[in-house]
């Protein structure tokens, strides 16, 4: 594996994002909706840097993927999100094809959110397949499969304190792959 962002760089990125979000948001209350499971480390760091009143909700979204390919998006069975009339910040770990965030944004608007903005720690340059605008982006990355700081490979490696790119030798030989990834 190759380290792309060390702990210090990640913290600086979150500092920068929190400052940007605070400046754009002002003092009004925020309903933050984190996309499980990948968001956990990121939002834990982000929320402690925000000063406006923040409510937090978490939703589950996951896709089946092999090493780097996405499958159908599955959202957890409809939970009643209490967001009618609220200003929402949707937070995910990484913006890749954009299908996840686009689907979630629609769902939040349908549920009556007053506004929906999005923040992602990472965006893969040139990978977006659907029209989607992320309002706040921590870091741009080239198209590679990354792990750590909340992001998994087959549900492992979320606990790495840094962000790393998987290299060909890190993947098991073909035929031994279990392709489930838990978001
Ligand atoms: P999208 O719907 O934008 O293609 O995919 C977004 C979701 O796919 C993210 O929330 C994340 O769970 C997963 N994902 C996309 N790229 C990567 C990656 O490089 N590493 C990991 N661990 N997950 C990824
Ligand atoms: Mg995810």
Closest residue by Cα to atom 20, ligand 1, is 146
Per-residue pLDDT, averaged over 166-182, amounts to: 73
Q: What is the pLDDT of residues 139-158, one digit of tens each?
A: 999 999 999 999 999 999 99
Comparing 4-13, 71-80, 118-127, which segment has the lowest mean pLDDT?
71-80
Instruction: Please indicate whether residue 150, judged by its CB atom, sits closer than 6 Å to ligand 1.
Output: no
Domains (ranges, CATH) in the chain? 7-142 (3.40.50.2020)
Q: What is the pLDDT of residues 78-91, one digit of tens each?
A: 567 789 999 999 99
Distance 61 CA to ligand 2 centre (A): 6
pTM value is 0.90
Pairing mode, strands 30-36 and 54-65: parallel
**Which atom, in ligand 1's list, is nearest to the CA of 103?**
2
Q: In sequence order, what are the residues at sequence separation of 6 or more whose Cβ sits closer than 8 angstroms to the Cβ of residue 7?
A: 161, 162
Comparing 8-17, 113-122, 128-137, 167-176, which segment has the lowest mean pLDDT?
167-176
Best substitution site from 2, 74, 151, 182 to test ligand 1's pocket, by max atoms within 8 Å of Cβ?
A: 151
Best substitution site from 5, 36, 38 to test ligand 1's pocket, by max atoms within 8 Å of Cβ?
A: 38
Instruction: Please indicate whether residue 183, judged by its CB atom, sits closer than 6 Å to ligand 1.
Output: yes
Instruction: Please indicate whether residue 100, judged by its CB atom, sits closer than 6 Å to ligand 1.
Output: yes
HEC readout, the chain: CEEEECHHHHHHHHHHHHHHHHHHHCCCCEEEEEEECCCHHHHHHHHCCCCCCEEEEEEEEEEEECCCCEEEEEECCCCCCCCCCCEEEEEEEEECCCHHHHHHHHHHHHCCCCEEEEEEEEEECCCCCCCCCCCEEEEEECCCCEEECCECECCECCCCCCEEECCHHHCCCCCCCCCECCC
Q: Could you confirm whether 96 is annotated as catalytic?
A: yes
Per-residue pLDDT, averaged over 159-165, amounts to: 98
Tell me the C-alpha to C-alpha distance, in Å, between residue 135 and each of 9, 132, 166.
Answer: 21, 10, 27
* Cis amide bond preceding 37, omega within 30: yes
């Amino acid at each position: 594996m190759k380290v792309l962002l060390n702990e210090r760089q990640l913290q600086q990125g979150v500092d920068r994002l929190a400052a940007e979000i605070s400046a754009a948001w002002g003092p009004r209350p925020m309903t933050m909706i984190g996309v499980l499971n990948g968001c956990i480390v990121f939002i834990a760091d982000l929320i402690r840097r925000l000063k406006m009143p923040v409510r937090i909700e978490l939703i589950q979204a996951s896709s089946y993927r092999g090493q780097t390919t996405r499958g159908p998006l599955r959202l957890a069975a409809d939970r009643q999100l209490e967001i009618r009339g609220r200003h929402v910040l949707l937070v995910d770990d990484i913006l890749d094809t954009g299908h996840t965030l686009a689907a979630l944004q629609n769902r939040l608007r349908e549920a009556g959110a007053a506004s929906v903005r999005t923040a992602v720690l990472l965006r893969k340059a040139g990978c977006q397949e659907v029209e989607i605008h992320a309002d706040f982006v921590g870091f741009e990355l080239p198209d590679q499969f990354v792990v750590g700081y909340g992001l998994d490979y087959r549900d492992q490696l979320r606990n790495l304190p840094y962000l790393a790119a998987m290299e060909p030798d890190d993947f098991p030989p073909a035929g031994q792959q279990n392709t489930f990834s838990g978001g």
